[in-house]
């Protein structure tokens, strides 16, 4: 097991290197740089001054020179300085991270503590009204893109439901209660697609398990339904669900950007979006690298959990 974990951690290096080259390279293929944005749409600005500023910031050097300079620092853990805010890239990212961690936790919370029980309920009560209702609702939840849902919530929240606590952000350290209030709806909206998916996955997984021979044996032995369901079936059904969860984390990270933008939350997603618009490649490269790192680590965690759930699996 330890060897497996170490091997997986070692794969981080080529992955991160590849991601950085890809992002850095792609970014420099896009026309326009931060100086163009600084000058704005003022055709009254002075192009010579622009060239001078570029020279100062090292932006007129060839791409591979700029990349090498970046890589040398990144290897030491220094992701450089943002071209637009002047802060250290790491500081900018870490400053925004709590918002994303909280959104992910809330979304995953809904998925695990609402999704799995609902899936089990649906499986248990197969062919009843509850099952039918849940199946219809989850198809909708899966099909509706969460940025559309976010915009809908925000608009309705300003037209008819003005009491909905959206469009502002209070950090947890300032006021825990207000913080939960303003994050819970965005967190839920972020997770609706995954939630729907997990309900269905759990349902089909549980249904599969309930048809297994060992369940019939247990019933014959006189075990109560509750024990069968929660002790035996649940653990076995979770295996495919955990696999899917690992994959869905990537989906959740991707969904963060638009959710943050619509609900006006200061997270890493918005940081990246703004940096792309303003051509701040230091932030874009650093932040995407960071997200890649998080993605790889979370997949590793999920795989390790997998091993604990299924004793047949050894690494």
Where does this chain bind other proteins (CB under 8 A)? Answer: 30-34, 36-50, 52-53, 56, 82, 84-87, 92, 151, 154-155, 157-159, 162, 166-168, 261-264, 266, 270-271, 274, 277-279
By CB atoms closer than 10 A (0-12, 13-18, 19+), residue 58 is: exposed
Tell the smallest beta-carbon distance from residue 87 to other proteins (Å): 7
Measured from the CB atom, is 246 or 286 closer to other proteins?
286
Tell the smallest beta-carbon distance from residue 258 to other proteins (Å): 9
Measured from the CB atom, is 274 or 300 closer to other proteins?
274
DSSP string covering 231-284 = IIIHHHHHHHHHHHHHHHHHHHHHHHHHHHHHHT---HHHHHHHHHHTT-HHHH
Tell the smallest beta-carbon distance from residue 185 to other proteins (Å): 13
Residues 6+ away with beta carbon under 8 Å from 106: 183, 184, 186, 187, 188, 190, 191
Measured from the CB atom, is 92 or 102 closer to other proteins?
92
Residues 6+ away with beta carbon under 8 Å from 85: 92
Helix, strand, coil percentages for the chain (3-state, nearest 5): 80, 0, 20
Measured from the CB atom, is 86 or 222 closer to other proteins?
86
Tell the smallest beta-carbon distance from residue 25 to other proteins (Å): 17
Measured from the CB atom, is 17 or 167 closer to other proteins?
167
Tell the smallest beta-carbon distance from residue 62 to other proteins (Å): 18
Measured from the CB atom, is 65 or 155 closer to other proteins?
155
Tell the smallest beta-carbon distance from residue 280 to other proteins (Å): 8
CA distance 119 to 227: 17
């Amino acid at each position: 097991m330890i060897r497996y974990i170490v091997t997986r951690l070692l794969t981080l290096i080529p992955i991160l290197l590849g991601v950085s080259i890809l992002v850095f390279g792609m970014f420099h293929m896009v026309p326009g740089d931060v100086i163009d944005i600084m000058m704005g749409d003022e055709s009254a600005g002075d192009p010579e001054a622009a060239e001078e500023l570029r020279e100062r910031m090292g932006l007129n050097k060839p791409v591979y020179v700029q990349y090498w300079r970046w890589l040398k620092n990144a290897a030491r853990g220094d992701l450089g300085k943002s071209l637009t805010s002047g802060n250290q890239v790491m500081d900018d990212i870490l400053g925004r991270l709590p918002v994303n961690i909280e959104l992910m936790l809330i979304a995953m919370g809904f998925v695990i503590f609402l999704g799995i029980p609902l899936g089990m309920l649906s499986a248990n009560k197969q062919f009843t009204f509850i099952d039918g209702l849940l199946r219809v609702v989850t198809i909708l939840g899966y099909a509706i893109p969460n940025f559309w849902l976010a915009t809908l919530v925000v608009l309705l929240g300003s037209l008819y439901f003005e009491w909905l606590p959206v469009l502002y952000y209070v950090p947890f350290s300032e006021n825990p209660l207000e913080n939960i209030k303003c994050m819970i709806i965005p967190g839920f909206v972020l997770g609706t697609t995954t939630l729907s998916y997990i309900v269905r996955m759990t349902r089909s997984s549980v249904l599969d398990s309930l048809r297994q021979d060992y369940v019939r044996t247990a019933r014959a032995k006189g075990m109560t339904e509750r024990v069968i369901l929660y002790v035996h079936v649940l653990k076995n059904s979770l295996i495919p669900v955990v696999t899917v969860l690992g994959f869905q984390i990537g989906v959740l990270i991707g969904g963060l950007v638009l959710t943050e933008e619509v609900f006006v939350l200061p997270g890493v997603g918005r940081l990246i979006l703004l940096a792309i618009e303003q051509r701040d490649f230091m932030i874009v490269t650093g932040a995407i690298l960071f997200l890649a790192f998080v993605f790889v680590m979370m997949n590793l965690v999920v795989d390790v959990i997998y091993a604990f759930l299924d004793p047949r699996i050894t690494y």
